[in-house]
A and B are shown apart, each in its own frame.
Chain A
């Protein structure tokens, strides 16, 4: 089957009132951006409340569909045969030709749904439905019409051109990214944080990310792994600026000063503080983490409360009530799992207590942190000043 175009359907944007055009324009921009990377020289445009991606060169349908499945806001993708406007009898044949080729030897139920935006066309939509239906039945005797619950629906659209399509492949859903709203993702090398970033980006929020690097306790490969993960999330979320913060000196200061079983919780509190400062400096309005209640000692409810205490901006934790397996399933679906499980350490074990606190007492943690003052503030400032920014796209 020779398709020339893809019809892009969107769901939630349809209800955005006066801002609808903004969301549509973002969707068009993101779709054009992903299609630019594959052969086909696609033109993406809006026409009468629809979005089309029209190829001006040969393209691979699977590749184009896969590219569009990375664009949030798309609810479905329909490969489209577009032909020049033609007389009714010819169109009856052409529609049946399309159906036969797209569904060879079809023996199930179907219905034809025609729309006639071009009111000057000789047949109205009911006439088109009947004529095309008859032609298909005569060619495919095993098939039958069912107007209530058809297994297949052939759409015939008469506009400036004639469009046929009968298949809709699901898109990722959500809302198109590309507005001005931005959140700062705390990205580790693990399974959870890329998924968390994906989920928030799916609601149309732009991402910026921060990774805490601790050489020589973490290796260059661990850092490269995070860059790879950010790039994979960026395939959905659009370009991500990744901040690499050298955390070693802060980590060592905490190690030397604070009780060992509180290390993880205090380190996380400083990560949140730094992430928040970075967010403020870069116009991000919220933080995103991959935390999930009870997954590890630092993610018990009490620990979460303790790390949350140092933040004034909202912290989004989209995985908060997910089971590990559900997170793994999602990471496999979006394609970050394989990278996440590469065995480079992202947190050297000497900084992990054998028995970390699981119910941190707020007063005790705060007193432990006081011992770090004032030196720690200089270290934090230095780390922020030496922020390395990597553009991942």
Chain B
């Protein structure tokens, strides 16, 4: 059975150039970049090359890139490290209602540490209103954290406008952006947008798991959360995950080289898929529709009278892989906070699937997926709980 993998917001398949770069790092430049000898220098060259590639995608500087174990660590680090560094100036922080658990969890920790947390609402499309943000900023606000692209419904936050709103209302507040779902897919310009910290991850852009980065704007104050040997300018200790970093660097290089064509290709697939879904009975799309507001690779849809797990497994039987809400929270019984925040009721939330695209998906695959959906939805709807 041929497989159609439509769960690329969970993880992507590492590309051939990424696999080659990682293998070369394991076989040849396997040294410790902190070593003084030749093997160390060799590894450092790989490390700096990767930092340059990531920086280029962000129009940033090589020295503003710090490597981490992935998106979760970067989010935790930026939020805890930035708030703690400013706690003497103020203890108010702001985030939104649809953040990834690695952001909302870090804010829970700040609450424990005595910070006052404001959670901004979103509209029915999953968008934060910069005006609301401006209203929420106080003299003692030290941190704002918003995601660039929502992982469940694909809404693109107005990061540039939010950055401007922060600059206008506060000289104190740092701005963190979780860009895990945007990095490599959408233009990002932290410096121009007034972003101090930005999170990215390798395995969402055809790189390996276990590796990510945090962009730290030159001069932005940040305390470390991992202490030890003082690697990466005393800010992130621990011997660097070199194969992962080599993979991330190569993934960033590929993303940059094919940026425009990848984006256009994903949007074309998205349009085809959304159009087809709308033609099916009892399907409603979640999140924004216009390209300016919707990420090219994430489609969230609710299927009336069909439980999402059942539909997921039924698709799986046909070799099609999707996700029920966000994969990380699919073991929990509560409904997704994101879907709740955009106003879905329990029944709709429990019948929602996320499809997420990669550059490897084809028009034919989307067509096949729509055909299979058209075939199995009526079958599944024969059996609803009475």
Q: A343-B333, A348-B307, A350-B307 are in contact. Are A255 and B313 (CB under 8 A)?
A: no
Q: State which residues 246-290 of A face B: CB under 8 Å.
A: 252, 255-256, 260
A348 to B309, CA, bound (A): 10
Q: Which of B309, B311, B316 contacts A345 (CB 8 A)?
A: B309
Closest to B379 in A: A252
- Per-residue CB contact flags for chain A residues 211-244 toward chain B (1 = under 8 Å, else 0) read 0000111111000000000000000000000000
Asked whether, in the complex, the Cβ of A215 is within 8 Å of the Cβ of B383, the reply is no
B312 at the interface (CB under 8 A from A): yes
B310 at the interface (CB under 8 A from A): yes
Q: A343-B331, A343-B333 are in contact. Are A350 and B313 (CB under 8 A)?
A: no
A256 to B379, CA, bound (A): 12
Asked whether, in the complex, the Cβ of B385 is within 8 Å of the Cβ of A216, the reply is no
- Per-residue CB contact flags for chain B residues 295-321 toward chain A (1 = under 8 Å, else 0) read 000000000000101111111110000
B386 at the interface (CB under 8 A from A): yes
A218 to B310, CA, bound (A): 8
Q: Which of A220, A343, A350 contacts B385 (CB 8 A)?
A: A350
B88 at the interface (CB under 8 A from A): no
| Tally of A interface residues using CB under 8 Å | 18
- Per-residue CB contact flags for chain A residues 283-325 toward chain B (1 = under 8 Å, else 0) read 0000000000000000000000000000000000000000000
A391 at the interface (CB under 8 A from B): no
Asked whether, in the complex, the Cβ of B384 is within 8 Å of the Cβ of A350, the reply is yes
A252 to B382, CA, bound (A): 9
- Per-residue CB contact flags for chain B residues 314-343 toward chain A (1 = under 8 Å, else 0) read 111100000000000001010000000000
Q: Which residues of B contact A345 (CB under 8 A)?
A: 309
A1 at the interface (CB under 8 A from B): no
Q: A216-B316, A343-B331 are in contact. Are A252 and B383 (CB under 8 A)?
A: yes
Asked whether, in the complex, the Cβ of B386 is within 8 Å of the Cβ of A216, the reply is no
Q: Which of A215, A216, A349 contacts B311 (CB 8 A)?
A: A216
Asked whether, in the complex, the Cβ of B385 is within 8 Å of the Cβ of A349, the reply is yes
Asked whether, in the complex, the Cβ of A256 is within 8 Å of the Cβ of B313, the reply is no
Closest to A259 in B: B386
Asked whether, in the complex, the Cβ of A216 is within 8 Å of the Cβ of B313, the reply is yes
Q: Which residues of B contact A105 (CB under 8 A)?
A: none
Asked whether, in the complex, the Cβ of B313 is within 8 Å of the Cβ of A217, the reply is yes
Q: Which residues of B contact A218 (CB under 8 A)?
A: 313
- Per-residue CB contact flags for chain A residues 311-352 toward chain B (1 = under 8 Å, else 0) read 000000000000000000000000000000001010011111
A260 to B383, CA, bound (A): 11
Q: A343-B331, A343-B333 are in contact. Are A216 and B310 (CB under 8 A)?
A: yes
Please list the residues of chain A having a beta carbon within 8 angstroms of any beta carbon in chain B.
Answer: 215-220, 252, 255-256, 260, 343, 345, 348-353
- Nearest 6 pairs of A and B residues by beta carbon: A216-B313, A216-B314, A350-B385, A260-B386, A216-B310, A219-B313
